[in-house]
Structure 1
Amino acid sequence: MGWIDDTADWTMRKWYRLLRKEMPAVVAAYESLPGLTTRGFVAPGGGAHLHVDAPIQFQGMSTQVAGLWPFSNGTSSPLIGAPLGRDQTTGQPLLGDPLSLFLYGIMSAPSAFILALNGRGKSSLVVRICLGIMDLGFIPLFLGDLKPDYVGLVKAVGGQHIRLGLGGVGCVNALDAGPIAKWLHRLSPQTRTEVEGQIHGRRVNTVAGLIEMMLRRRLSEEQSEHMVLSTAIRVAAEEAAQEGRQPELADVRRVIVARHPRIREAILDMSEDEYDAEVKSLVKGITALGPEGVFGGMFWGQTTVEMDMHAPVVFDVSSIDEGEADLRAAAQLVIWSYGQAGALAAQTLANEPDMEDPEPDAAKKRRLGPEVHHLMVMDELWQILQAWEGSVYRINTITKVNRQKGLGQIMITHSMKDLELSTSERTKMAFGFVERSSMVFLGGLAENEQEDLRRIRRFSDREIAQLVEWSAEGTVNPATGEMNPPPGRGRFLLKTSDAPGIPFRIELTSQEKEIHDTNAAWANAIAAARGEGAAA
């Protein structure tokens, strides 16, 4: 009957043209079918699909796929940096990391913050990012691995594994200048002055943080405690340099107790009794950091292993028991400072001309070291804030200058609640860690997080609902016994601004699983529970 319809249509069009009238539009009337949905007929025997697979998506240039319009999707995710996973909206690969996007001018700072509940894949995301940046020539520094999560990765790539802990496991000097110390004599006078100023500031910040953690209060400006400490550290450093070594906390204590003239001069004239009363609390705090204190001298002597400036490094503090909360927090503070010192040493050497090079033109002289860029991984932020929330001031000092020094950072904790401290000033400073981060990765979070999240970024109701959905635990099918992992495992929402975020999923490769197993301590128990036999 097709030719009859065609003939009738032709005749009708001809007739209307002769009458100079517009042919009425043909409207088909469709009768609604009860029970019909986008997944088929929802009725017994109707054959409705419970699950509809997403269509396969292909990517091409606009000139190549123009003829397929409107069946194509645009994408704005740049293919720059470490491969993160697959965009859950478009199905496209998602790439990016703080260092790469900053160097390309896409981000204003080389920093990221990761927020997610336990078991949602925070460390897996970090491993993926760090594997990617190493392939691009950058160097990750895992500063304070408490579990450990990153030792396997560093060993697999031939990096440096430094163990720290009590009982002779390892020590890091709280006053260590870092690898730059043995290069000071090769620096120009101006650069050396600048570097020595940075070293002194870092020493004062670190030791002050440790003492405040012991005293449970900030150093008093009224009692000139900060001035006394700064002067004592400077004197101790000068005396130690004459002996060809790094200063130690014991040197600082000795200088203060001896009532050094430069300290007496700095805090004005007073009697010996008045001086002793002025510094009593400070000396008590320094003494508590010694071998007989709760830290067991872990920061008292010389550093046992110097970090390598040009290789991935992990500072493994997993030997410190979870019950030693103060010691774990103190270790984080000291290692973050020491790791930063190592990275900045590499930057200094890369920018400093070698004056022993015979090339007459200073601009063309070879440099004292190759140009490298580091990414500091600062995990378990909640631990140090919980042990002594006044540490927020010290963390702020450590992290604020990283961008200017060519150093990237990733900070990690469980939730925004970890950043809510006892005063609004401290809370604002802690929230600033997230606000200053150009990349914010969010995994499964509790519903009561939304108010705090919206203080740092703009979130849609759908994004909040998605994060809450990802916070659910896994399930077990009662009929088959099949176990399903938490729905949010490996899923993250990447926010780089107030614009809509990008939901993506990480799927670890077999090689990544071999070097990164956060449940290694539970391997045999997990295998037994699943009926798989003992783990190898």
Structure 2
Amino acid sequence: MTTYHPTGVVPEDDETTKAGRRRGKRQKSLPHGQAQPTAPKKEKKPRVVRPRTAGWRGWTGYGAGSVGYVEAAPEWRGTTVQVCGLWPFAAGSGTPAVGVPLGRSLTGGGTLCCDPISWFQRAKLILNPSEFVLGKPGLGKSTIVRRQALGLAGYGVNPVVFGDLKPDYADLIRALGGQVITLGRGRGFLNVLDPGESRAAAARLPEAARRSLLADAHGRRLNAVASLITVLRGNPPADREETILNTALKLLDERFDGVPVLGDLLAVIQEAPEALRSVALDRGDLSRYREITENLESSLIGLLGDGRLGEMFSQPTSEPMRRDSPVCFDVSAIDDGESSLQAAALLACWSYGFGAISVAQALADAGLEPRRNYFVILDELWRVLRAGRGLVDRVDALTRLNRQRGVGMAMITHTMSDLLALPTEEDRMKAKGFVERAGMVITGGLPAAEMPQLNSVVPMTSAEQRMIEDWSTPPSWDSTRGEEAPPPGLGNFMVKVGGRPGIPVHVDLTPAELDVNNTNRRWGNV
């Protein structure tokens, strides 16, 4: 027998040599006929038979039931008084325990407590008391914000909803003993020139604080009128028109005794006083002044009931806002087909509401009223942003200084595409800044197409993105009942703070919350 070797053919006719090679030992050459010496055999030790035990995943082997995934043990939280018998057996928590209890973490099972005010004020986890909530319709965006509003009310924070379109929050505010202001065609009026209690509060303040509060009220009214004109036209007023409006408002405050309305502002412009003609640059020609102010007069007439926005802004405010209780502006009477009126109503509610909060904070700074904090809910943000070019600046001016005002804020929309579908690149970048400036971002189920846009603002891992995409999966048909099953992602949310790992959480409603969270009330028992 021969073996082929890289250096040639080597004969192998010695069985002893082959046995030694199999043992990995080099054979020594011996005289012909002499056998290789054999090693003495080792004595075998008796085999120790140990009893079979289960591993940490269970019994191994065929049919034994070993598991490939070990489910996390259930966790409970409580004070040392509540769980005194279990006190020695404690474990560190993986989720923050400061704030409103939202639900259980989907990864560790621990309770997640989360709201923008508690995480900013007490836990020091975020630098800005605001949150941006994203998610497809029907997955519970309003529900998680209602949970936070309810919990913050228990902490002494007043939730205020500046424009409830469905309504999603009116029942909750009523249950908390708050104020629900109804607006709509023939249902209520909101005067954007109403300074609220600014003048009465300013009379109680020192000189410097008085000037600051009155200047703030003047700026809000000017911004509100310009915003309504933007919604009506689809474009913002020109610089000269805003200057005319600014001067006309100052003249109106000097001449008018009481609270003016838009009709009074129009009358001042039509009177053509010298101060207005000067800023209009009519060059001493009255006909030129009429030509310059013609479009402005036409827009104001359209806001007095003769335009598509109706008469909701033409009359005195039907119900002033209270500062010491939860408040909801219910604009659900406005039909979804009237998108311009909806956007105008939201902007007017925001301006009026933030004005009332400024009065409360000015009085608290002077020691004339107790300090109050507010949780402001701005739902359906996309409706305002799409109503006209330049409205992003108006919203940005209203929402930028929430930390200095002692106000927590929740801004809600469906997808990032709502913010990036604006006509100009400048507006898109400003709208994107709403998400970037938010202290935390809470996302429900979103389609895969949204992930690149969201990831450019809030860094997410691939596992987090897959989880959010899975939550947007459509529900399966329940053939046993002949109806659609609940969506897989119903009540699931991802809480992200900057570049930190996201916290997936599931929100379950308590029996006390079921009635105030019924957004399908008009469908009977649905």
The answer to whether the superposition gives a TM-score over 0.5 is: yes
**Structure 1 residue 52 displacement after superposition:** 7.0
**Cα distance, 1:475–1:275 mapped onto 2, change above 3 Å:** same
User: What residue number does 2:180 align with?
Assistant: 161
- Percent same amino acid at aligned positions? 37
Write out aligned runs for 1:144-223 (5 A): 144-167=163-186, 169-221=187-239
Residue in structure 2 matched with residue 22 of structure 1 by the alignment: none
CA deviations 1:51-85 (Å, max 9, x no partner) are: 97542235699xx99998xxx97435332111111
Structure with the bigger percentage of helix: 1
- Specify the SS of the correspondent of 1:515: coil
User: What's the counterpart of residue 475 of structure 2?
Assistant: 474
CA contact (8 A) 2:77 2:111 kept: no
Paired AA for residue 275 in structure 1: Y
Residues 244 and 276 in structure 2, CA contact (< 8 A), matched pair in contact too:
yes
| 2:110 pairs with 1:92 | yes
Specify whether residues 408 and 304 from structure 1 end up closer, same or farther in structure 2 by C-alpha distance, changes over 3 A only: same
User: What corresponds to 1:299 in structure 2?
Assistant: 313
What's the CA shift for 1:220? 1.6
The within-5 A match list for 1:477-496 is 477-478=478-479, 484-496=485-497
Structure 1 CA distance, aligned partners of 2:493 and 2:105? 10
User: Quick one: distance in 2 between partners of 1:212 and 1:42?
Assistant: 73
1:235 maps to amino acid: L
Larger mean CA deviation between 131-140 and 265-274 belongs to: 265-274
Show the counterpart of 2:507: 506
The answer for the alignment partner of 1:10 in structure 2 is none
Matching residue of 2:428: 427
RMSD (Å), alpha carbons:
2.9
**Partner residue of 2:404?**
404
Distance in 1 of aligned mates of 2:183 and 2:499: 41
Contact 1:179–1:306 under 8 Å retained in 2:
no
Cα distance in 1 for partners of 2:501, 2:174 equals 38
The Cα shift of 1:279 comes to 1.4
In structure 2, how many angstroms separate the alpha carbons of the residues matched to 1:41 and 1:293? 78
Q: Please give the alpha-carbon distance, in whole angstroms, between the structure 2 residues aligned to 1:73 and 1:311.
A: 40
Q: What is the match of residue 244 of structure 2? A: 228
User: Who is 1:344 aligned against?
Assistant: 358
Aligned twin of 2:12: none
Q: Structure 1 residue 257 and structure 2 residue 260: aligned?
A: no
Displacement after TM superposition at 1:257 (Å): 1.3
CA distance in 1, matches of 2:76, 2:446: 33
Preserved CA contact (<8 Å) 1:164 1:315: yes
Give ranges in structure 2 of 5+ residues lacking alignment: 1-46, 50-54, 80-84
- Structure 2 counterpart of 1:77, one-letter code: T
Task: Name the CA shift for 1:467/1:39 in 2 (closer, same or farther; >3 Å).
Answer: farther
Shift of 1:47: 6.2
Tell me, yes or no, if the aligned pair for 1:116 and 1:442 is still in contact at 8 Å.
Answer: yes
AA at the equivalent of 1:134: A
Aligned partner of residue 405 in structure 1, secondary structure: coil
Report SS of the residue matched to 2:441.
strand
Report deviation, 1:287: 1.1
**8 Å contact 2:94–2:110 — kept in the other structure?**
no
Greater C-alpha Rg: 2
| Cα distance in 2, alignment partners of residues 330 and 398 from structure 1 | 14
Shift of 1:237: 2.3
Between the aligned partners of 2:493 and 2:260, the Cα distance in structure 1 is: 45
Match of 1:129 in 2: 148
Q: Distance in 2 between matches of 1:185 and 1:59?
A: 50
* CA displacement, residues 114-141 of structure 1 (integer Å, 9 cap, x when unaligned): 0011011011101100111111110010
- Structure 1 counterpart of 2:332: 318
Counterpart among 331, 349, 352 of residue 345 in structure 2? 331
- Look up the SS of the partner of 1:230 in the other structure: helix
Residue 159 of structure 2 aligns to a residue in which SS?
strand
Q: Is the 8 A contact 1:39 1:52 kept in 2?
A: no
Partner AA of 1:520 in structure 2: R
- The question of whether the paired residues in 1 share the 8 Å contact of 2:146 and 2:169 is answered with yes
The one-character-per-residue Cα deviations of 1:330-350 (angstroms, maximum 9, x if unpaired) are 000000111111111111111
Following superposition, the deviation at residue 37 of structure 1 comes to 13
Which amino acid is the alignment partner of residue 118 of structure 1? P
Question: Residue 113 in 1 paired to residue 132 in 2?
Answer: yes
Aligned residue type for 2:440: M
Instruction: Specify the code of the residue in structure 1 equivalent to 2:93.
Output: T
Distance 1:451 1:439 in 2: 18
Q: Quote the Cα distance in structure 2 between the aligned partners of 1:313 and 1:375.
A: 10
Mean Cα displacement is larger for which, 339-348 or 386-395?
A: 386-395
Amino acid at match of 2:325: A
Contact in 1 for aligned 2:105/2:112 (Cα 8 Å): yes
In 1, Cα distance between equivalents of 2:206 and 2:111: 47
SS state at 2:185 partner: coil
The equivalent of 1:8 in structure 2 is none
Q: Name the CA shift for 1:323/1:58 in 2 (closer, same or farther; >3 Å).
A: closer
Q: Distance in 2 between matches of 1:317 and 1:248?
A: 21
Distance 1:50 1:171 in 2: 63
Query: Contact 2:185–2:334 (CA<8 Å) still a contact in 1?
Result: yes
Aligned counterparts of 1:60 and 1:510: Cα–Cα separation in 2: 21
List per-residue Cα deviations over 1:197-222 (Å, max 9, x = no partner).
1011111111101101111112222x
Q: Which residue of 1 aligns with 2:26?
A: none
Residues 286-334 of structure 1, C-alpha deviation per residue, up to 9 Å, x if partnerless?
A: 1111122222211112111011101000110111111111111100000
How far the C-alpha of 1:389 sits from its partner, in A, is 4.4
The count of residues paired between Structure 1 and Structure 2 equals: 470
What's the counterpart of residue 17 of structure 1? none
Shift of 1:182: 2.4
The CA distance in 2 between the partners of 1:269 and 1:213, in whole Å, is: 27
Classify 1:444/1:389 alpha carbon distance in 2 versus 1 (closer, same or farther; 3 Å): farther
Partner of 1:4: none
Check whether the contact 2:94–2:108 (CA below 8 A) recurs between aligned residues: no
Contact kept, 8 Å, 1:384 with 1:391, in 2: the verdict is: yes
Change (3 A) 1:481 1:323: closer
Whole-Å Cα distance in 1 between the matches of residues 319 and 427 of structure 2?
A: 34
Aligned-pair CA distance for 1:473: 2.0
* Deviation, structure 1 residue 41: 8.7
**Does the residue aligned with 1:430 lie in a helix, a strand or coil?**
helix
Give the equivalent residue in structure 2 for 1:383.
383
Task: Name the CA distance, whole Å, in 2 between partners of 1:308 and 1:409.
Answer: 19
Normalising by structure 1, what TM-score?
0.82
Distance 2:78 2:321 in 1: 46
Distance in 2 between the 1:161 and 1:322 partners? 20
State the Cα distance separating 1:181 from its structure 2 match.
Answer: 3.0
For the 8 Å contact 2:234–2:387, the answer to whether it is kept is: no
Matched, 1:288 2:288: no
8 A Cα contact 1:143 1:315, kept in partner: yes
